[in-house]
Structure 1
Amino acid sequence: MDAGGFGIMDIEADVFAEQWSFLDMDQLKKLKRVHLWELKTNNPWVKMLNRGEKLAQFIPSEVLKRKDIEERVNVICHFIKIAMIFLENDNYNGVMWVWEGLQKAAVQKLQKTLESLPDQVKEVMSHFRNKLSDDRLRNAMNNGLLEHRPVIPWIKLIDSAVFQIDSQQNDFVLLPTEAEEGSVPLLNIEKMW
Protein backbone atom coordinates (compact mmCIF):
# COMPACT_ATOMS: atom_id res chain seq x y z
CA MET A 1 0.00 0.00 0.00
CA ASP A 2 1.17 3.54 -0.74
CA ALA A 3 1.91 5.96 2.09
CA GLY A 4 -1.34 7.82 1.39
CA GLY A 5 -3.48 4.68 1.24
CA PHE A 6 -4.61 2.84 -1.86
CA GLY A 7 -2.19 2.42 -4.80
CA ILE A 8 -1.74 0.63 -8.11
CA MET A 9 -0.06 -2.34 -6.47
CA ASP A 10 -3.25 -2.90 -4.45
CA ILE A 11 -5.20 -3.56 -7.65
CA GLU A 12 -4.84 -6.98 -9.27
CA ALA A 13 -3.56 -6.71 -12.85
CA ASP A 14 -6.50 -8.64 -14.30
CA VAL A 15 -9.04 -6.47 -12.45
CA PHE A 16 -7.36 -3.27 -13.68
CA ALA A 17 -7.21 -4.54 -17.28
CA GLU A 18 -10.81 -5.76 -17.26
CA GLN A 19 -12.20 -2.53 -15.81
CA TRP A 20 -10.16 -0.43 -18.24
CA SER A 21 -11.41 -2.59 -21.13
CA PHE A 22 -15.02 -2.13 -19.99
CA LEU A 23 -14.48 1.65 -20.06
CA ASP A 24 -12.94 1.41 -23.56
CA MET A 25 -15.81 -0.75 -24.84
CA ASP A 26 -18.39 1.62 -23.38
CA GLN A 27 -16.75 4.62 -25.06
CA LEU A 28 -16.40 2.78 -28.39
CA LYS A 29 -20.12 1.97 -28.36
CA LYS A 30 -20.89 5.68 -27.99
CA LEU A 31 -18.39 6.74 -30.68
CA LYS A 32 -19.72 8.19 -33.93
CA ARG A 33 -17.78 9.20 -37.03
CA VAL A 34 -18.36 12.90 -36.36
CA HIS A 35 -16.48 12.55 -33.04
CA LEU A 36 -13.22 12.04 -34.95
CA TRP A 37 -13.02 15.71 -35.80
CA GLU A 38 -15.16 17.32 -33.09
CA LEU A 39 -12.91 18.05 -30.16
CA LYS A 40 -15.50 18.54 -27.44
CA THR A 41 -14.65 17.43 -23.93
CA ASN A 42 -17.75 15.24 -23.60
CA ASN A 43 -16.86 13.42 -26.81
CA PRO A 44 -16.09 9.68 -26.28
CA TRP A 45 -13.08 9.97 -28.60
CA VAL A 46 -11.52 12.76 -26.53
CA LYS A 47 -12.37 10.94 -23.30
CA MET A 48 -10.48 7.84 -24.48
CA LEU A 49 -7.48 9.90 -25.57
CA ASN A 50 -7.37 11.86 -22.31
CA ARG A 51 -7.74 8.73 -20.17
CA GLY A 52 -4.96 7.01 -22.12
CA GLU A 53 -2.65 10.00 -21.84
CA LYS A 54 -3.24 10.10 -18.09
CA LEU A 55 -2.37 6.40 -17.81
CA ALA A 56 0.81 6.90 -19.85
CA GLN A 57 1.81 9.74 -17.48
CA PHE A 58 0.72 7.83 -14.37
CA ILE A 59 3.00 4.85 -15.06
CA PRO A 60 6.33 6.73 -14.76
CA SER A 61 5.07 8.55 -11.68
CA GLU A 62 4.20 5.23 -10.04
CA VAL A 63 7.64 3.83 -10.87
CA LEU A 64 9.55 6.94 -9.79
CA LYS A 65 7.84 7.43 -6.45
CA ARG A 66 9.34 4.11 -5.34
CA LYS A 67 12.82 4.66 -3.90
CA ASP A 68 13.92 1.03 -3.78
CA ILE A 69 14.97 -0.72 -7.02
CA GLU A 70 13.09 -3.88 -6.04
CA GLU A 71 9.87 -1.90 -5.56
CA ARG A 72 10.37 -0.21 -8.94
CA VAL A 73 10.89 -3.61 -10.56
CA ASN A 74 7.65 -4.84 -8.98
CA VAL A 75 5.71 -1.86 -10.35
CA ILE A 76 7.13 -2.33 -13.87
CA CYS A 77 6.34 -6.06 -13.71
CA HIS A 78 2.80 -5.22 -12.59
CA PHE A 79 2.27 -2.93 -15.60
CA ILE A 80 3.79 -5.52 -17.96
CA LYS A 81 1.30 -8.05 -16.60
CA ILE A 82 -1.51 -5.55 -17.22
CA ALA A 83 -0.29 -5.04 -20.80
CA MET A 84 -0.19 -8.80 -21.39
CA ILE A 85 -3.79 -9.14 -20.17
CA PHE A 86 -4.81 -6.30 -22.49
CA LEU A 87 -3.11 -8.11 -25.36
CA GLU A 88 -4.85 -11.40 -24.52
CA ASN A 89 -8.18 -9.55 -24.60
CA ASP A 90 -7.43 -7.76 -27.90
CA ASN A 91 -7.46 -4.37 -26.20
CA TYR A 92 -4.74 -2.74 -28.27
CA ASN A 93 -5.66 0.66 -26.88
CA GLY A 94 -4.79 -0.46 -23.35
CA VAL A 95 -1.60 -2.26 -24.44
CA MET A 96 -0.26 0.75 -26.25
CA TRP A 97 -0.99 3.25 -23.49
CA VAL A 98 0.82 1.02 -20.98
CA TRP A 99 3.69 0.56 -23.42
CA GLU A 100 3.86 4.30 -24.06
CA GLY A 101 4.06 4.91 -20.31
CA LEU A 102 6.88 2.39 -19.92
CA GLN A 103 8.78 4.00 -22.81
CA LYS A 104 8.79 7.46 -21.24
CA ALA A 105 12.29 8.86 -20.70
CA ALA A 106 11.80 8.93 -16.93
CA VAL A 107 11.47 5.13 -16.88
CA GLN A 108 14.06 4.43 -19.57
CA LYS A 109 16.72 6.35 -17.61
CA LEU A 110 16.43 3.93 -14.69
CA GLN A 111 19.19 1.63 -15.95
CA LYS A 112 19.76 -0.23 -12.67
CA THR A 113 16.03 -0.88 -12.37
CA LEU A 114 15.71 -2.09 -15.97
CA GLU A 115 18.77 -4.32 -15.56
CA SER A 116 17.21 -5.81 -12.41
CA LEU A 117 14.03 -6.91 -14.21
CA PRO A 118 13.51 -10.67 -14.34
CA ASP A 119 14.62 -12.29 -17.61
CA GLN A 120 11.03 -13.23 -18.44
CA VAL A 121 9.92 -9.58 -18.18
CA LYS A 122 12.90 -8.43 -20.26
CA GLU A 123 11.87 -10.98 -22.89
CA VAL A 124 8.27 -9.71 -22.89
CA MET A 125 9.47 -6.11 -23.19
CA SER A 126 11.73 -7.08 -26.09
CA HIS A 127 8.77 -8.84 -27.73
CA PHE A 128 6.63 -5.72 -27.27
CA ARG A 129 9.40 -3.50 -28.65
CA ASN A 130 9.61 -5.66 -31.79
CA LYS A 131 5.89 -6.32 -32.29
CA LEU A 132 4.19 -3.07 -31.38
CA SER A 133 5.03 -0.95 -34.38
CA ASP A 134 2.13 0.90 -35.99
CA ASP A 135 2.07 -1.41 -39.04
CA ARG A 136 2.16 -4.63 -37.02
CA LEU A 137 -0.45 -3.30 -34.63
CA ARG A 138 -2.71 -2.32 -37.53
CA ASN A 139 -2.34 -5.84 -38.99
CA ALA A 140 -3.16 -7.47 -35.65
CA MET A 141 -6.27 -5.32 -35.28
CA ASN A 142 -7.38 -6.12 -38.83
CA ASN A 143 -6.86 -9.86 -38.28
CA GLY A 144 -8.95 -9.72 -35.12
CA LEU A 145 -11.74 -7.96 -36.99
CA LEU A 146 -11.58 -10.47 -39.86
CA GLU A 147 -11.93 -13.29 -37.33
CA HIS A 148 -14.98 -11.49 -35.88
CA ARG A 149 -13.35 -11.03 -32.48
CA PRO A 150 -14.18 -7.90 -30.51
CA VAL A 151 -11.15 -5.66 -30.90
CA ILE A 152 -10.45 -2.35 -29.18
CA PRO A 153 -8.16 -0.40 -31.53
CA TRP A 154 -5.39 1.89 -30.36
CA ILE A 155 -7.14 5.24 -30.38
CA LYS A 156 -3.96 7.30 -30.74
CA LEU A 157 -3.05 5.44 -33.97
CA ILE A 158 -6.41 6.33 -35.50
CA ASP A 159 -6.21 9.85 -34.11
CA SER A 160 -2.85 10.50 -35.77
CA ALA A 161 -4.10 8.97 -39.03
CA VAL A 162 -7.12 11.28 -39.06
CA PHE A 163 -5.01 14.40 -38.55
CA GLN A 164 -2.08 13.52 -40.83
CA ILE A 165 -3.81 14.10 -44.13
CA ASP A 166 -1.92 13.94 -47.42
CA SER A 167 -2.49 17.21 -49.31
CA GLN A 168 -2.29 15.51 -52.75
CA GLN A 169 -5.57 13.65 -52.32
CA ASN A 170 -9.07 14.90 -51.66
CA ASP A 171 -9.95 15.02 -48.00
CA PHE A 172 -13.43 13.71 -48.64
CA VAL A 173 -14.84 11.04 -50.90
CA LEU A 174 -18.38 12.36 -50.67
CA LEU A 175 -18.97 16.01 -49.91
CA PRO A 176 -22.10 17.11 -48.04
CA THR A 177 -23.41 18.83 -51.19
CA GLU A 178 -23.27 15.53 -53.12
CA ALA A 179 -24.83 13.50 -50.35
CA GLU A 180 -28.28 13.55 -48.87
CA GLU A 181 -29.15 16.71 -47.02
CA GLY A 182 -27.95 16.60 -43.42
CA SER A 183 -25.43 13.80 -43.98
CA VAL A 184 -21.84 13.87 -42.79
CA PRO A 185 -19.02 13.99 -45.38
CA LEU A 186 -17.05 10.77 -45.75
CA LEU A 187 -13.32 10.92 -45.13
CA ASN A 188 -11.07 9.45 -47.79
CA ILE A 189 -10.00 6.15 -46.17
CA GLU A 190 -6.80 6.06 -48.24
CA LYS A 191 -5.59 9.11 -46.36
CA MET A 192 -6.04 7.39 -43.01
CA TRP A 193 -3.57 4.57 -43.65
Structure 2
Amino acid sequence: MTGLFITVEGVDGAGKSTQAELLGSWIEQRGHELVRTREPGGTRLGVEIRKLLLHGGEELGTVDPRAEALLYAADRAQHVGAVVRPALERGAVVVQDRYIDSSLAYQGAGRVLDLADVRRISEWATGGLWPQLTVLLDLDPAVAAARREDRGGGADRLESEAAAFHAAVRAGFLELAEAFPDRYLVLDASEPADVLHAAVVAAVAPLLPR
Protein backbone atom coordinates (compact mmCIF):
# COMPACT_ATOMS: atom_id res chain seq x y z
CA MET A 1 0.00 0.00 0.00
CA THR A 2 1.30 3.43 -0.96
CA GLY A 3 -1.01 5.64 1.11
CA LEU A 4 -0.73 7.02 4.63
CA PHE A 5 -2.97 6.00 7.53
CA ILE A 6 -3.34 8.48 10.42
CA THR A 7 -5.65 8.03 13.39
CA VAL A 8 -6.73 10.56 16.00
CA GLU A 9 -7.51 9.30 19.49
CA GLY A 10 -8.48 10.60 22.92
CA VAL A 11 -11.36 10.87 25.35
CA ASP A 12 -14.63 12.35 24.11
CA GLY A 13 -14.32 16.13 24.16
CA ALA A 14 -10.56 16.26 23.57
CA GLY A 15 -10.95 17.95 20.17
CA LYS A 16 -10.36 15.02 17.83
CA SER A 17 -12.79 16.20 15.15
CA THR A 18 -11.33 19.71 15.13
CA GLN A 19 -7.78 18.48 14.68
CA ALA A 20 -8.77 15.88 12.09
CA GLU A 21 -10.58 18.54 10.04
CA LEU A 22 -7.65 20.95 10.23
CA LEU A 23 -5.22 18.22 9.24
CA GLY A 24 -7.45 17.09 6.39
CA SER A 25 -7.62 20.59 4.94
CA TRP A 26 -3.84 20.93 5.19
CA ILE A 27 -3.34 17.62 3.37
CA GLU A 28 -5.75 18.52 0.57
CA GLN A 29 -4.04 21.87 0.08
CA ARG A 30 -0.87 19.93 -0.73
CA GLY A 31 -2.55 18.02 -3.54
CA HIS A 32 -3.10 14.68 -1.85
CA GLU A 33 -6.30 12.67 -1.99
CA LEU A 34 -7.86 12.75 1.47
CA VAL A 35 -10.22 10.19 2.94
CA ARG A 36 -11.68 11.60 6.15
CA THR A 37 -13.55 8.97 8.14
CA ARG A 38 -14.40 7.70 11.59
CA GLU A 39 -15.26 4.69 13.72
CA PRO A 40 -17.82 3.59 14.41
CA GLY A 41 -19.93 4.75 11.50
CA GLY A 42 -17.68 5.02 8.46
CA THR A 43 -19.92 2.79 6.31
CA ARG A 44 -23.67 2.22 5.91
CA LEU A 45 -23.42 -0.84 8.12
CA GLY A 46 -21.28 1.14 10.53
CA VAL A 47 -23.90 3.89 10.83
CA GLU A 48 -26.42 1.34 12.08
CA ILE A 49 -23.90 -0.21 14.48
CA ARG A 50 -23.05 3.29 15.75
CA LYS A 51 -26.71 3.96 16.47
CA LEU A 52 -26.91 0.77 18.52
CA LEU A 53 -23.64 1.28 20.36
CA LEU A 54 -23.89 4.95 21.20
CA HIS A 55 -27.54 5.91 20.95
CA GLY A 56 -29.47 2.74 21.67
CA GLY A 57 -32.32 3.45 24.04
CA GLU A 58 -33.43 1.69 27.19
CA GLU A 59 -35.05 -1.00 25.07
CA LEU A 60 -31.57 -2.45 24.44
CA GLY A 61 -30.99 -3.01 28.11
CA THR A 62 -27.47 -3.50 29.43
CA VAL A 63 -24.98 -4.32 26.67
CA ASP A 64 -22.49 -6.99 27.70
CA PRO A 65 -18.89 -5.68 27.37
CA ARG A 66 -17.95 -8.60 25.11
CA ALA A 67 -20.91 -7.92 22.84
CA GLU A 68 -19.87 -4.26 22.73
CA ALA A 69 -16.30 -5.17 21.78
CA LEU A 70 -17.50 -7.54 19.06
CA LEU A 71 -19.83 -4.93 17.58
CA TYR A 72 -16.95 -2.45 17.37
CA ALA A 73 -14.85 -5.14 15.70
CA ALA A 74 -17.63 -5.84 13.18
CA ASP A 75 -17.84 -2.15 12.33
CA ARG A 76 -14.06 -2.05 11.97
CA ALA A 77 -13.93 -5.08 9.65
CA GLN A 78 -16.49 -3.54 7.29
CA HIS A 79 -14.85 -0.13 7.46
CA VAL A 80 -11.32 -1.32 6.72
CA GLY A 81 -12.48 -3.64 3.95
CA ALA A 82 -14.76 -1.13 2.23
CA VAL A 83 -13.08 2.23 2.89
CA VAL A 84 -9.65 2.31 4.51
CA ARG A 85 -7.69 -0.41 2.73
CA PRO A 86 -8.90 0.53 -0.79
CA ALA A 87 -7.96 4.17 -0.11
CA LEU A 88 -4.48 3.23 1.06
CA GLU A 89 -3.98 0.93 -1.92
CA ARG A 90 -4.61 3.79 -4.34
CA GLY A 91 -2.23 6.10 -2.46
CA ALA A 92 -4.68 8.27 -0.52
CA VAL A 93 -4.13 9.74 2.93
CA VAL A 94 -6.66 8.44 5.45
CA VAL A 95 -7.34 10.61 8.49
CA GLN A 96 -9.57 8.70 10.87
CA ASP A 97 -11.30 9.54 14.12
CA ARG A 98 -10.77 6.46 16.38
CA TYR A 99 -9.46 2.98 15.55
CA ILE A 100 -8.19 -0.12 17.38
CA ASP A 101 -6.61 1.94 20.16
CA SER A 102 -10.08 3.16 21.16
CA SER A 103 -11.23 -0.42 21.63
CA LEU A 104 -8.14 -1.17 23.72
CA ALA A 105 -8.77 1.91 25.87
CA TYR A 106 -12.57 1.82 26.15
CA GLN A 107 -13.37 -1.90 26.12
CA GLY A 108 -10.01 -3.02 27.50
CA ALA A 109 -9.13 -0.47 30.18
CA GLY A 110 -12.63 0.99 30.62
CA ARG A 111 -14.70 -2.22 30.56
CA VAL A 112 -11.81 -4.22 32.02
CA LEU A 113 -11.77 -6.84 29.26
CA ASP A 114 -8.56 -8.71 28.57
CA LEU A 115 -6.43 -6.45 26.35
CA ALA A 116 -5.00 -9.40 24.44
CA ASP A 117 -8.51 -10.57 23.54
CA VAL A 118 -9.59 -7.10 22.38
CA ARG A 119 -6.42 -6.72 20.32
CA ARG A 120 -6.82 -10.18 18.81
CA ILE A 121 -10.36 -9.66 17.52
CA SER A 122 -9.51 -6.20 16.17
CA GLU A 123 -6.39 -7.40 14.37
CA TRP A 124 -8.35 -10.30 12.91
CA ALA A 125 -11.11 -7.91 11.80
CA THR A 126 -8.63 -5.60 10.05
CA GLY A 127 -6.18 -8.13 8.69
CA GLY A 128 -3.51 -6.67 10.97
CA LEU A 129 -3.73 -3.13 9.59
CA TRP A 130 -2.25 -0.48 11.90
CA PRO A 131 -1.76 3.26 11.27
CA GLN A 132 1.63 4.79 10.64
CA LEU A 133 0.79 7.62 13.06
CA THR A 134 -1.62 7.89 15.97
CA VAL A 135 -2.24 11.36 17.39
CA LEU A 136 -3.37 11.16 21.01
CA LEU A 137 -5.06 14.30 22.29
CA ASP A 138 -4.63 13.87 26.03
CA LEU A 139 -7.05 15.72 28.30
CA ASP A 140 -8.22 15.52 31.88
CA PRO A 141 -11.61 13.74 31.74
CA ALA A 142 -13.19 16.44 33.93
CA VAL A 143 -12.18 19.12 31.44
CA ALA A 144 -13.43 16.96 28.59
CA ALA A 145 -16.77 16.51 30.35
CA ALA A 146 -17.13 20.27 30.76
CA ARG A 147 -16.43 20.75 27.06
CA ARG A 148 -19.08 18.18 26.15
CA GLU A 149 -21.61 19.91 28.37
CA ASP A 150 -20.83 23.28 26.78
CA ARG A 151 -21.40 21.98 23.27
CA GLY A 152 -24.79 20.51 24.23
CA GLY A 153 -26.63 17.82 22.30
CA GLY A 154 -26.85 15.30 25.11
CA ALA A 155 -24.47 12.50 26.07
CA ASP A 156 -24.22 9.13 24.34
CA ARG A 157 -23.85 5.79 26.15
CA LEU A 158 -20.09 6.05 26.62
CA GLU A 159 -20.08 9.75 27.44
CA SER A 160 -22.64 9.01 30.19
CA GLU A 161 -20.32 6.62 32.00
CA ALA A 162 -18.97 7.50 35.45
CA ALA A 163 -15.84 9.58 35.99
CA ALA A 164 -13.87 6.49 37.02
CA PHE A 165 -14.56 4.91 33.63
CA HIS A 166 -13.24 7.94 31.75
CA ALA A 167 -10.18 8.10 34.01
CA ALA A 168 -9.44 4.46 33.19
CA VAL A 169 -9.84 5.14 29.48
CA ARG A 170 -7.40 8.04 29.64
CA ALA A 171 -4.90 5.90 31.52
CA GLY A 172 -5.36 3.17 28.93
CA PHE A 173 -4.51 5.55 26.09
CA LEU A 174 -1.40 6.80 27.89
CA GLU A 175 -0.23 3.24 28.51
CA LEU A 176 -0.61 2.48 24.81
CA ALA A 177 1.39 5.59 23.93
CA GLU A 178 4.15 4.52 26.29
CA ALA A 179 4.17 1.01 24.80
CA PHE A 180 4.28 2.24 21.17
CA PRO A 181 6.24 5.52 21.18
CA ASP A 182 7.30 5.20 17.53
CA ARG A 183 3.66 5.29 16.40
CA TYR A 184 2.23 7.75 18.91
CA LEU A 185 2.28 11.54 19.04
CA VAL A 186 0.94 12.62 22.45
CA LEU A 187 -0.29 16.21 22.72
CA ASP A 188 -1.76 18.22 25.58
CA ALA A 189 -5.29 18.83 24.34
CA SER A 190 -5.70 21.84 26.62
CA GLU A 191 -3.39 23.78 24.29
CA PRO A 192 -4.96 26.10 21.66
CA ALA A 193 -6.17 24.43 18.49
CA ASP A 194 -3.61 26.21 16.28
CA VAL A 195 -0.73 25.09 18.51
CA LEU A 196 -1.94 21.49 18.36
CA HIS A 197 -2.38 21.70 14.60
CA ALA A 198 1.19 22.93 14.13
CA ALA A 199 2.50 19.98 16.14
CA VAL A 200 0.41 17.51 14.14
CA VAL A 201 1.55 18.96 10.81
CA ALA A 202 5.19 18.75 11.89
CA ALA A 203 4.75 15.04 12.53
CA VAL A 204 2.73 14.32 9.39
CA ALA A 205 4.76 16.26 6.82
CA PRO A 206 7.68 13.77 6.64
CA LEU A 207 5.25 10.85 6.23
CA LEU A 208 3.24 12.14 3.26
CA PRO A 209 3.39 10.04 0.09
CA ARG A 210 5.80 11.39 -2.51
Q: TM-score normalized by structure 1? A: 0.30
Q: TM-score normalized by structure 2? A: 0.28
Which of the two has higher C-alpha Rg? Answer: 1
Which structure has more helix as a fraction of its residues?
A: 1
Bigger relative contact order, structure 1 or 2 (CA pairs below 8 A, ≥6 apart): 2
